[in-house]
Structure 1
Amino acid sequence: MIPDAPWLLERERRCRREGSGLTTADLVGCWRLERIWNKGSLEPASVAAGLLRGLAARLRLSADGAGPEAGDLRLANSVRLGALELRFEGVGRLEGRRPLLVFSFERLLLLLGGRVLIERTLPQPDPLRRPFFALIAAERPHWLAARGRGGGLALWLLEGTTGENEVRVNEN
């Protein structure tokens, strides 16, 4: 089963004390958004998550540079409606013991059937205001959980997993 909010919150408390142990290699892949929880809520935001799933929300993370353990990542965050795709691309890096995946988007693309219609360079954010995901836990090859800068909790499933019935909670 996919972990629920109480399990993830307990895991998050432990992660704050001990760290998650997640590395760049644990993050590489294409993750599809499965569930989100608003800050302070134990119930999934089913309407918002359903909308984002309907728009095929994806987070693609790939190693950048000297291999997956180097810490640098390329990110692509996208939504799709039919053949129309809106994609933000940028770079990220793991920082700290927890760790945080700190990132910034460098460009915005609007594609139709894989063909670029619009491409814009994005300004760099203030270093103190960069977006991040506080990584909580991952169970390869199934799911990844993190809390965003705004306080919401997100759970992604790795593309290629067959679904909810085969995803199990890791009891570590």
Structure 2
Amino acid sequence: MAGLRLPMIPTDSLPSGEDLLALERQCRRSGSGITMASLIGTWRLRATWSRDGTPAPAASAALLRGLGACLILSGEETDGALRIANQVNLGSLRLRFDGEAELTGRRPLLMFSFRSVRLSLGTLTLFERGLPQPDARRMPFFALIGLDREQGRLSARGRGGGLALWMR
């Protein structure tokens, strides 16, 4: 990875996998209170853990942070529609998935479906393609565990079982 400088992000102030598992247990009992309005914005991926709360390998976590992996949610609470984007950047090269999302339940679940993928270099689109829609029973989702408004942290468990933490 010569030439790629990954930003150093202090991790001592981040919650541990055990902290997230405890928060998840609490959320299952009483819900998270997360609303659509509180999710709107750009969330930068800061840390990931396996299903059991074991931290992801340091190199993969640093790579995702270095690529600026982020989740972008936008929409109007009045119509209940959420737009979702997931993207990574390497310099001016960007890979972006765009689609629609819906918040359901009291935990809640952020159900989503990407409709297109685009690769661009600056303002020039190099590649763009529509994506097939998954069966309703196979829709990807994030089970939202917690939102710390003061710290600007969002935590969730993905459909595959892993835990993730994003920061505004």
For normalisation by structure 1, the TM-score amounts to 0.85
TM-aligned CA deviation for residue 101 of structure 1:
0.1
2:90 alignment partner, one of 68, 76, 81:
81
Which runs of 5 or more structure 2 residues have no equivalent in the other structure? 1-12
Corresponding residue to 2:52 among 19, 40, 44: 40
Q: Distance in 1 between matches of 2:54 and 2:80?
A: 32
CA RMSD of aligned residues (A): 1.3
1:52 aligns with 2:64: yes
Deviations 1:19-78 (A, max 9, x none): 101001111110110000011133343221111111110110001xxx226432101100
* Residue 24 (structure 1) aligns with: 36
1:71 and 1:147 map into 2 onto residues whose CA distance is 22
- Match of 2:61, as an amino acid? A
Which of 147, 154, 159 aligns to 2:164? It is 154
Report sequence identity in percent. 54
Please give the per-residue CA displacement for 1:124-156, whole angstroms capped at 9, x wherever unaligned. Answer: 111100000000001125110000000000000
Query: In the TM superposition, what is the alpha-carbon distance from 1:116 to its structure 2 partner?
Result: 1.3
Q: Which runs of 5+ in 1 are unaligned?
A: 159-172
Deviations 1:102-128 (A, max 9, x none): 000000000101321111011111110
Counterpart for residue 71 of structure 1: 80
Contact 2:18 2:53 in 1 (8 A): no
SS in 1 for 2:83: strand
Instruction: Find 2:117's aligned residue among 103, 108, 121.
Output: 108
Tell me the distance in 1 between the aligned counterparts of 2:112 and 2:25. Answer: 23
* Deviation of 1:92 (Å): 0.2
Q: Could you state the TM-score of these two structures normalised by the residue count of structure 2?
A: 0.87
CA contact (8 A) 1:21 1:98 kept: yes
Distance 1:122 1:107 in 2: 5
Residue 23 of structure 1 contacts residue 69 of structure 1 at CA under 8 Å; is this kept in 2? Answer: no
Letter aligned with residue 126 of structure 1: D
Conserved 8 A contact 1:58-1:79: yes
